[in-house]
Chains A and B, each alone.
Chain A
Amino acid sequence: MATATSKDHQGGRLRRRLFGMFFACFCIGHVLLHAQGFKLLDRDVQIHGFASQGFIYTDDNNWLTMNTSQGSGAFTDFGINVSTNVTDRLRVGAQLYDRNLGQLGQYHPSLDWAVVDYRFKSWFGVRGGKVKTTLGLYTDSQDLDFLHTFALLPQSVYPTDLRDATIAHVGGDIYGNVSLQHKLGDLSYTGYVGHRSDSIYSGYIYLAAQYGLYYSRYGGLQYGGDLRWNTPLKGLLIGVSRMNEDITGQATDKNPSSSGPPFFSESDHSKADWTNQFYGTYSVRKIRIDSEYRRFLHNAYYSTQGNVVLTNITDVRGWYVSGAYRVVKRLTVGSYYSRYSITSVSGGPDSAFAPPNQTDTSLPNNHIYDKVVTARVDINKVWNVKVEGHFMSGYGASTFPDGFYPEVNPQGFKPDTDALVLKTGFNF
Chain B
Amino acid sequence: MKFRKMLLVTAGWVIFAVVNSFAGSIKVIANSSVRADTISEAELKRVFLEERISLPDGTHVEPVLMKEGAVDEAFVQQYLGVTEDDLQIYYRTLLFTGRGSIPKILESDAEVVAYVARTRGAIGYVSASASAVGVKTLAIGVAGNDIERKLITRVEPDYPETLKQLNIGGTVRLRISISAKGNVENAVLLGGNPILGESAAIAVKQWIYAPSRSLTVAEISIVFGDH
Residues of chain A whose beta carbon lies under 8 Å from any beta carbon of chain B: 44, 46, 48, 50, 79, 81, 83-85, 88-89, 91, 93-95, 113-115, 117, 119, 121-122, 127, 131-132, 140-141, 144, 146-147, 177, 179, 183, 186, 188, 234-235, 283, 286, 326, 329, 381, 427
Interface string of B36-76 (1 = CB under 8 A from A): 00000010001000011110000010100000000000000
Q: A183: which B residues are within 8 A, CB to CB?
A: 42, 143
List the A side residues contacting B60 at CB < 8 Å.
Answer: 88
Query: Do A427 and B53 contact each other (CB < 8 Å), given the known contacts A83-B101, A88-B62, A141-B97?
Result: no
Q: Are B93 and A141 in contact (CB under 8 A)?
A: yes
Residues of A within 8 A of B143 (CB): 183
Q: Which chain B residues in 82-115 approach chain A with CB under 8 Å? A: 82-83, 85-86, 88-89, 92-93, 95-102, 104
| B120 contact set on A, CB distance < 8 A | 88
Given contacts A88-B53, A283-B86, contact A132 B97 (CB under 8 A): yes
CB distance B51 to A186 under 8 Å? yes
Residue of A nearest to B42 (CB): A179
A121 contacts across to B, CB distance below 8 A: 53-54
Closest to A129 in B: B98
Report if A46-B101 is in contact (Cβ < 8 Å); known contacts: A88-B60, A144-B96: yes
**Whole-angstrom distance between the Cβ of A428 and the nearest chain B Cβ:** 10
Tell me the complex Cα distance, A234–B86, Å: 14
- Please name 19 further chain A to chain B contacts, defined as beta carbons within 8 Å, in addition to the given A79-B96, A117-B99, A147-B93, sorted by A numbering: A46-B101, A48-B92, A48-B95, A48-B96, A88-B62, A88-B120, A95-B98, A122-B52, A131-B98, A132-B98, A141-B93, A144-B92, A144-B93, A147-B92, A179-B46, A183-B42, A235-B81, A286-B83, A381-B88
Say yes or no: A50 contacts B96, CB within 8 Å.
Answer: yes
A127→B83 CA distance, assembly (Å): 30
Closest to B81 in A: A234
Closest to B105 in A: A36
Cβ contact of A88, chosen from B82, B92, B96, B121, cutoff 8 A: B121
Mind listing 12 A-B residue pairs with CB under 8 Å?
Answer: A46-B101, A46-B102, A48-B92, A81-B98, A93-B98, A121-B54, A122-B46, A122-B53, A131-B98, A132-B97, A141-B96, A186-B46
Residues from chain B with Cβ under 8 Å of A46 in the complex: 95, 101-102
Smallest CB separation, A147 vs chain B (Å): 5
Closest to B142 in A: A183
* Chain A residues in 8 Å Cβ range of B104: 44
Chain B residue with the shortest CB-CB distance to A235: B81
Q: Which residues on the A side are within 8 Å of B85 (C-beta)?
A: 326, 329
Query: 1/0 per position for B190-206, CB-CB distance to A under 8 A?
Result: 00000000000000000
Instruction: Find B53's partner among A89, A113, A140 (CB 8 Å cutoff).
Output: A89
Cβ contact within 8 Å between B121 and A113: no
CB neighbours of B92 from chain A (8 A): 48, 144, 146-147, 427
Chain B, 163-203, contact with A by CB distance < 8 Å: what is the 0/1 string? 00000000000000000000000000000000000000000
Chain A residues whose C-beta falls within 8 Å of the C-beta of B95 in the assembled complex: 46, 48, 81, 83
Q: Nearest Cβ distance between residue A418 and chain B, in whole angstroms?
A: 30
Collect the chain B residues with CB atoms within 8 Å of residue A127's CB.
98-99
Separation of A40 and B101 alpha carbons in the complex (Å): 16
Neighbouring B residues of A179 by C-beta, 8 Å: 42, 46
Alpha-carbon separation in the docked complex, A121 to B42 (Å): 18
Whether B53 pairs with A147 at a CB distance below 8 angstroms is no
Shortest distance from the beta carbon of B136 to any chain A beta carbon, whole Å: 19
B41 to chain A minimum Cβ distance, whole angstroms, is 11
Evaluate whether A177 and B52 lie within 8 angstroms (CB atoms) in the complex, with A147-B93, A283-B86 already known. Answer: yes
Which residue of chain A lies nearest to B62 when distances are taken between CB atoms in the complex? A88
Smallest CB-CB separation from A234: which chain B residue?
B81
Q: Which of A44, A85, A177, A427 is B51 in contact with, Cβ under 8 Å?
A: A177
Q: What residues on A are CB-neighbors of B99 within 8 Å?
A: 117, 127, 132, 140
CB neighbours of A235 from chain B (8 A): 81
Q: Which of the residues B54, B86, B89, B101 comes within 8 Å of A85, measured between beta carbons?
A: B101
Q: Hey, which chain A residues are within 8 Å of B86, CB to CB?
A: 283
Closest 3 A/B residue pairs (Cβ): A113-B98, A177-B51, A140-B97
Contact B96 A95 (CB under 8 A): yes
Task: Report the separation of the CA atoms of residues A326 and B104 in the bound assembly, to the nearest whole angstrom.
Answer: 27
Contacts of B96 in A (CB 8 A): 48, 50, 79, 81, 95, 141, 144, 147
Q: Which A residues are in CB contact (< 8 Å) with B53?
A: 88-89, 119, 121-122
Contact A122 B51 (CB under 8 A): yes
Q: Which residue of B lies closest to A332 (CB)?
A: B85
- Least Cβ distance of A49 to chain B in Å? 9
Cα A122 to Cα B53 with chains together (Å): 6
